[in-house]
Amino acid sequence: MPANLVSSRPAARNRDAALAAVTPPTAIAVDLGSSAIGVWAAHRGTITGPCRDAPASAGASVRRGSIVDVDGCIAQLSELARRYAEPVPAGGVLVACRPVLAGASDQAAMRRVIDAVFAPSLLQFIDTVRAAAIGSGAAAGTLLIADVGAQVSELALLKDGHVIAARRSDLGTGDLALGATTDLLSEILVRHVNDLLDSAVAPDLTVAMTRGLLLVGDGASYPELSLALSTALRLRIHRASAPRTAALNGAGLAAMSLLRHPRLSRPGSEPTGGPR
């Protein structure tokens, strides 16, 4: 059963169903990272935790942006959900961050984890870079954004809040302890930018580069990475004010937006739009 609150007894299930019929669903956001996971719930706030705080079986549940241990990930996410003083009810509207260019199998694994812990009535996925742009208040217009996490680095071009081109590499700040350097991280991101400059999105990218590059994720806490990128690309690097939680905050805003969708007020209906 979802570990955050619900009993499996028939009477309890009937009571929960009755309450759900008159209580608006809760907006929830989830970000499953390679080194940390986070949960945001409306009127409850944000709870994050590093993987090392999870049970031993969940210590390596996410690698390079992919869930490799579903049961371990369920255990870790359940433990975070239990930390809320006010339990998060089942049947919520949930937006989950996914790495850009994530495959169908990755998304299916995330769905299994989230369904097991939160049993949402509606689950939608949002690319992490898009969520981070929303959470940083920078989604309007054309935007170049880099999300450098512990094990994955993503670069994306957004137009009016939607990803129109992206690149991804399996290298992040966690690899700095294994011999990688911030110069190497910068070189990879610069290579991604050059790839996009040689593609059909070059005109939009040129416009976005006049605005600079938004850097989020753990990489934004490394000034030497910002300097290397600025020097190589000859543009301004803007570090998000809350780089590690920008994506989770943006997913939370997206979940709140879904709650305001008019069709959600009708039982059994789902919006046709929303994060994508």
Complete DSSP assignment for 46-98: EEEEEGGGS-GGGTTSEETTEES-HHHHHHHHHHHHTT-SS---SS-EEEEEE
How high is the pLDDT of residue 96? 97
Q: Which two tokens stand for residue 85?
A: 């003083």
- Give domain 10-130+246-265's CATH architecture: 2-Layer Sandwich (3.30)
How high is the pLDDT of residue 263? 59
On the question of pLDDT at 169 being above 80, the answer is yes
**Same fold yes or no, 10-130+246-265 and 137-239:** yes
Q: If you ran DSSP here, which 8-state letter would residue 265 be given?
A: G
On the question of pLDDT at 12 being above 80, the answer is no
Question: Looking at residues 168-177, what average pLDDT do you find?
Answer: 96
Q: Which two tokens stand for residue 224?
A: 């030497």
How high is the pLDDT of residue 135? 96
On the question of pLDDT at 32 being above 60, the answer is yes
How high is the pLDDT of residue 13? 55
On the question of pLDDT at 108 being above 90, the answer is yes
On the question of pLDDT at 115 being above 80, the answer is yes
Which residue type occupies 189? Answer: L
Map out the domains of the chain as residue ranges: 10-130+246-265, 137-239
On the question of pLDDT at 140 being above 70, the answer is yes
Per-residue pLDDT reduced to its tens digit, 233-262: 999 999 999 999 999 999 999 999 998 875
Domain 137-239 has CATH 2.30.40.10: no
How high is the pLDDT of residue 266? 42
Contact in structure between 173 and 222 (CB atoms under 8 Å): yes
Q: Which residues contact 219 (CB under 8 A, 6 or more apart)?
A: 146, 147, 148, 149, 153, 172, 173, 185, 225, 243
Contact in structure between 75 and 108 (CB atoms under 8 Å): no
Q: Tell me if residue 101 falls in helix, strand or coil.
A: coil
Burial class (CB in 10 A: 0-12, 13-18, 19+), 272: exposed
pLDDT band (50, 70, 90) for residue 265: very low
From CA 86, how far away is CA 92, in angstroms rounded? 14
Q: Which two tokens stand for residue 243?
A: 């780089």
Contact in structure between 133 and 161 (CB atoms under 8 Å): yes
Q: Give the predicted TM-score (pTM) of the model.
A: 0.83
Question: Looking at residues 152-171, what average pLDDT do you find?
Answer: 96
How high is the pLDDT of residue 15? 59
Contact in structure between 247 and 39 (CB atoms under 8 Å): no
Of 124, 123, 211, nearest to 159 (Cα)? 211
